Amino acid sequence: MSVLRRAWAIVWKDLLIEARTKQSFNAMVFFAALVLFIFSFALGPDTELLQRVAGGLLWVGIAFTGILSLSRTYQNEETSGGLEGLRAYPGDPRAIYVGKLLGNIVLLLMVEAILIPAAGILFQANLWPHALGLAIVSILGTIGFSLVGTFYAALTVNLRAREVMLPLLLFPALVPVLLGAVNATTLILEGDLMGEAVVWLRVLGAFDIIFFVICIWIFPIALEE
């Protein structure tokens, strides 16, 4: 239990800093809205076309926005050797990973809670009937995204050119998450008459479980000094 308590301490600390400074949240929401806007401009005012590709646009927006916050995962620790301090605490270093992971998931889900309704308005899609399905997809997708993202963020935090390296490592690894989330979202928005969305939810669930195990297992090695 002590791992969870330590993790919770990190989540609480990071969310408190975020609540007081709002250094990430405001910028992320604004950036995500801009991404959706740019896509709408690029694809023209054809509402039917926009509705058909809405799932894809939404998740590209989430992925780009997520990269922003993931690359800042350890920013609070960067000044005056904070990460060394965290590492020096007794106990399992996995608590750092779990804490940072939960923080990233919460922050990204909060952005999505604004972004998804905004997309519904922009693309003129009525989302209310699909609210439950969309919520499940975003939660599973966000977990998958953050699992690998939080891990690779720790790996690239001390790297030269980490702004380039994080997406370069992360996006190929996230292909199953993006495919699963985009297809599930599109099917749910279309009414999912054949019940196919469940297959994609299973892909997301399987990815989440497999990468949770792998990342938890390897994280102490990534954090070694």
Partner 1 sequence: MGPRTTVEKTLGILALLSMLVGSYVGLVVVPADAAQGDVQRLMYVHVPAAWLAFMAFFIVFVMSVLYLIQRDARWDRVAASSAEIGVVFTVVTLLLGMMWGKPTWGVFWTWDPRLTTTAILLAIYVGYGALRSFADDEEKRARWSAIVGVIGFANVPIVYMSVTWWRTLHQPPSSPRSVAPDILWTLMLNLAAFTLVYAYLMVRRIRLAKLDGELEKRMAYNA
127 binds partner 1 (CB under 8 A): no
171 binds partner 1 (CB under 8 A): yes
Alpha-carbon distance values, 8 to 95, 96, 161 (Å): 8, 9, 31
Q: With CB under 8 A as the contact rule, which of the stretches 25-33, 67-75, 93-101, 163-171 interacts with partner 1?
A: 163-171
209 binds partner 1 (CB under 8 A): no
194 binds partner 1 (CB under 8 A): no
Whole-angstrom distance, CA of residue 15 vs CA of residue 13: 6
Residue (45 or 172) nearer to partner 1, CB? 172
* Contact partners, residue 186, CB within 8 Å, separation at least 6: 54, 55, 56
Q: What value, to the nearest 5°, has the Cα angle with vertex 132 and ends 128 and 134?
A: 80
**Contact residue for partner 1 among 5, 113, 158, 194 (CB under 8 A):** 158
Query: Residue 224 has what DSSP assignment?
Result: -
155 binds partner 1 (CB under 8 A): yes
* Contact partners, residue 111, CB within 8 Å, separation at least 6: 25, 28, 29, 32, 62, 65, 69
Q: What value, to the nearest 5°, has the Cα angle with vertex 60 and ends 59 and 63?
A: 85
In the complex, the smallest distance separating the C-beta of residue 221 from partner 1, rounded to whole angstroms, is 6
175 binds partner 1 (CB under 8 A): yes
Q: Which of 30, 98, 103 lies closest to 64, judged by CA?
A: 30
In the complex, the smallest distance separating the C-beta of residue 11 from partner 1, rounded to whole angstroms, is 24
**Contact residue for partner 1 among 173, 190, 192, 216 (CB under 8 A):** 173
In the complex, the smallest distance separating the C-beta of residue 200 from partner 1, rounded to whole angstroms, is 8
Q: Across the chain, which distance is largest between two alpha carbons, in Å?
A: 58
- Residues contributing to the site for partner 1 (CB under 8 A): 148, 151, 155-156, 158-162, 164-165, 168-169, 171-173, 175-176, 179-180, 183, 199-200, 203, 206-207, 210, 214, 218, 221-222, 224
